[in-house]
Amino acid sequence: MPLVYDELRALAQSYLNRERPDHTLQATALVHDAYVRLIRQEDVEWKNRAHFFAVAAQAIRRILVDHARGHQRQKRGGGRERVRLDEDVAVLDERDIDLIALDEALEKLAHLRERQARIVELRFFGGLELKEVAEFLGVSPRTVTGDWQMARAWLRREMRDDTTA
């Protein structure tokens, strides 16, 4: 954990910087919650850095979505939490992203194109570069680039359709 703590904390802080200003979750708490989830996994043999961050991405995604859902319940169903995505990973043209809607859209995408959903998760929640994603998935960087572009376009359309429905 000491080897990756600073990197995980920086990743957590970058997520929280995109959140609303009065967000109650702190980067340290997010990292600690993710760490607890990671150490509870018994049959994991960490293959490399990319593998660790892929599993961490799943844990962080669940924590952020659970927190957003809890906040939504506290407001009695009003206003979902929004997350600002970096330009590199933006799926809705630099608008705020509804984290719950993103999670729901990723679930739909996973049923259609599992690898594309995994790439979005690894890039957005895991902070992995395209080359690292390719290494982790065992495909070429060119394949990841194409899937990444397709996934972003699909998510953009899916999330736009959800907001107009």
Put simply, whether the predicted model's pTM sits higher than 0.75 gets the answer no
Q: Compute and round to an integer the Cα radius of gyration of the chain.
A: 16
> Is residue 159 within 8 Å of residue 102, measured between CB atoms?
yes
Q: Is the dihedral of CA 150, 151, 156, 158 positive or negative?
A: positive
- pLDDT by residue for the chain (165 residues), tens digit each? 677 888 888 877 877 777 766 667 788 888 888 888 887 777 778 788 888 888 888 888 888 888 877 766 655 444 444 444 444 444 433 345 678 888 899 999 999 999 999 999 888 888 888 999 999 899 999 999 999 999 999 998 888 876 555
The model's pLDDT over 56-74, given as tens digits with 9 standing for 90+, comes to 888 888 888 888 777 666 5
Angle at 123 (CA atoms; ends 134, 91), nearest 5 degrees: 125
Quote the CA–CA distance of 119 and 143 in Å, as a whole number: 11
Quote the CA–CA distance of 17 and 24 in Å, as a whole number: 12
Sequence spans of domains, the chain: 2-164
